[in-house]
Amino acid sequence: MSAIALLAEKFDRALIAAFGADFAGTDPLLAATNNPKFGDYQANLAMSLAKPLKQKPRDIATQIIAALDVSDFCEPPEIAGPGFINLRLKTSYLEAQLQHMLTDDRLGIPPIRDPQTIIVDFSSPNIAKEMHVGHLRSTIIGDAIARVLEFQGHNVLRLNHVGDWGTQFGMLITYLREVYPDALTKADALDIGDLVTFYKEAKVRFDDDEAFKEASRQAVVGLQSGEAEARQAWQLLCDQSRREFQKIYDRLDIQLEERGESFYNDALASVVHDLDALGLLQEDDGAQCVFLDGYTNKDGDPLPLIVQKTNGGYNYATTDLAALRHRVTRDRANRIIYVVDVGQSSHFEHVFQVARRAGWLTDAIEAQHVPFGLVQGEDGKKLKTRAGDTVRLRDLLDEAIDRAKADIEQRLASEDRSEPADFINHVATVVGLSSVKYADLSQNRTSNYIFSYDKMLAMQGNTAPYLLYAYVRIAGIGRKGGIDFNDFFSTVNTVITLTEQTELSLAKHLLGLEDVIETVAIELLPNRLCQYLFELSQKFNQFYDQCSILKAEETQRTARLQLCYLTAQTLRQGLSLLGINVLQRM
């Protein structure tokens, strides 16, 4: 149990003892202090109880302290300012906790008591298109969220809701019939790049040519009703695209189960039918709609969610409703997380509302749209290539790796060091990919994010290379000292003792991982974990700067080696939750 959870229990008992059972469950308003002179944690509840108790906050604090028994892990609490209760952890407690961490392969973090079934819906590229920069954030953030929830012990279903259905397909098939019919009947008749070109051309036709537009819509209807030729073409295109996606997922080490829009094809009619049976459906201009509560269009009229188009076809709202219903009734999800860009916020609000009114989504189930902002270039505009095209994901990753490689080669040259090519390639790959992931994850996902290779690959600052270097440094200590950390502590049995300020500061931070993971799981903000790991690296470097390790006297040497090892393990674990691998040397 983390110190903060322990304190919360103790405060609850103290409140009951001091003010009676009515105060059971009162939030003690515990927080980490922002200044070490106030201790490690502060409880702010005395001020908030002033009104209900009709007493002065400081008097309340005095009574709480009198009833508070934290002596086995805290120094005597102090009252400060208007009524803050300041708490400082005992060094002996820190030492014991670290010792426990050392012997536990989950770093002292127990699996969650009540595991849920959680769906994380992320990445979701479109068939017949290449993955591009627009898929970057969903893929990276979604993976990190899934990893954190999995580590906690939840049953996580990672779903790739690929765009393999709908109008875009009608467009493409109609166009290929005209210009390249072979592609509809032969596997890999076209290169994926050509397919993208045809897609773009089809889109132009679709926007300009009414007859083409209508033919496309008919093709969709044909596809949705199972017409053989359309189905075959569709299958070929999907297979080809899928292989391309997989290359990216393999590089990024991302596991995903594909369950695209087409998966719900057979359920679409029943979604509409059931909405009708529930009395939620209305026809308007020939389309089947559910009119939304609380939303209006430009004219101030109620806004519809269209679930069946005038031509009888279904659209993405229908699919999303079908998917939601499936996830609740078949997958038995307790929580459904959609990692999709912020531009679709209102769409999700609409779909969730209809699902609630239909009774498919209940209060027992948490459906969450987890939005993220745009990836922008350094000019603050949407990221584009120099030619003005969308940036392909594989090019983006290649460039990050190429730049990382150039950095390494330059560094090796300046240090007069030489390494084999496969070492250089491996380091460049890990550094390049980690940098792209970390740069994205380290920002609050809700705001737009300015993409800069120079910043993400920098060795200084809150970057992947800085964290990786801290880990490499520790690995270097092991090599230098001839120590294999993995079995060192099973043969050496020395109690950790903490004396220096930098040791204490590092130790306290090491014990904070559990709280951070819990916060990330609730708020779904991976940048909190990044911040924690960055601070951990800083504290390690401060400790490293102040305290000699290999040359220290026993038993201090072993105790410090233990701190090194715990730091390395925490970095490795934390980074792995972000989808980032560590390096032994770089």
Partner RNA sequence: GGGCAUGUAGCUCAGUUGGAUAGAGCAUCAGAUUCCGGUUCUGAGGGUCGGGGGUUCGAGUCCCUCCAUGCUCGCCA
Where in 201-240 is the site for RNA (CB under 7 A)?
A: 217
Question: Contact between 261 and RNA (CB under 7 A)?
Answer: yes
Alpha carbon separation from 459 to 312, 396, 455, 534, 572 (Å, rounded) = 57, 20, 9, 12, 18
Q: Indicate which single residue of 185, 235, 270, 310 sits in contact with RNA (rule: CB under 7 A).
A: 310
Interface characters, 397-416, with RNA (x: CB under 7 A) = --------------x-----
Check binding of 165 to RNA (CB under 7 A).
Answer: yes
List, as one string, the DSSP characters of 98-122: HHHHHT-TTTT-PPPSS--EEEEE-
Could you say which of 19, 122, 348, 544 contacts RNA (CB under 7 A)?
544
User: In this complex, which beta carbon is closest to RNA, that of residue 134 or of residue 579?
Assistant: 134
- Binding RNA (rule: CB under 7 A), the pick from 99, 155, 494, 531 is 531
By beta-carbon proximity to RNA, the closer residue of 108 and 304 is 304
In angstroms, what is the minimal distance from the CB of 182 to RNA?
A: 25
Q: Kindly state the smallest distance separating residue 346's Cβ from RNA, in Å.
A: 5
Q: Is the dihedral of CA 462, 466, 471, 473 positive or negative?
A: negative
The answer to the question of residue 269 lying near RNA (CB under 7 A) is no
Contact present, 139 and 123 (Cβ < 8 Å): yes
**26 lies in the binding site for RNA (CB under 7 A):** no
Smallest distance from RNA to CB 186, Å: 26
58 contributes a contact to RNA by CB under 7 A: no
Which span (31-39, 93-101, 225-233, 241-249) binds RNA, by CB under 7 A?
31-39
In the region spanning residues 459 to 498, those forming contacts with RNA, defined by CB under 7 A, are: 459-462, 465-466, 469, 472-473, 475-477, 479-481
Q: What is the 3-state secondary structure (H, E, C) of 140-179?
A: HHHHHHHHHHHHHCCEEEEEECCECCCHHHHHHHHHHHHH
Q: Which two tokens mark 391? A: 């940036």
- Which of 90, 426, 455, 572: binder of RNA (CB under 7 A)? 455
Give me the helix-helix angle, 527-546 and 501-510, nearest 10°: 160
Q: Is 447 in the site for RNA (CB under 7 A)?
A: yes
In angstroms, how far apart are the furthest CA atoms of the chain? Answer: 85
CB distance 472 to 58 below 8 Å: no
Chain-centre distance of CA 144, in angstroms? Answer: 4
CB closer to RNA, 8 vs 96 = 8
Tokens of 29: 């308003």
Task: Provide the sign of the torsion angle of the four alpha carbons 15, 19, 24, 26, taken in this order.
Answer: negative
Binders in 313-372 for RNA, by CB under 7 A: 313, 315-316, 319, 342-347
Residue type at 178 in one-letter notation: E
Site for RNA (CB under 7 A): which residue of 114, 210, 545, 554?
A: 545
Looking at the Cβ atoms of 53 and 189, the one nearer to RNA is: 53
The nearest distance, CB 439 to RNA, in angstroms, is 9
Cα Rg of the chain (Å, integer)? 28
Distance CA 565, CA 179 (A): 62
**Shortest Å, Cβ 35 to RNA:** 6
Residue 33 touches RNA, criterion: CB under 7 A: yes
Judged by CB under 7 A, the chain residues 107 through 146 that form the site for RNA are 126
Site residues for RNA, 286-305, by CB under 7 A, read 286-287, 289, 296-298, 301, 303-304
Question: 584 phi and psi, to 5 degrees?
Answer: -80, -35
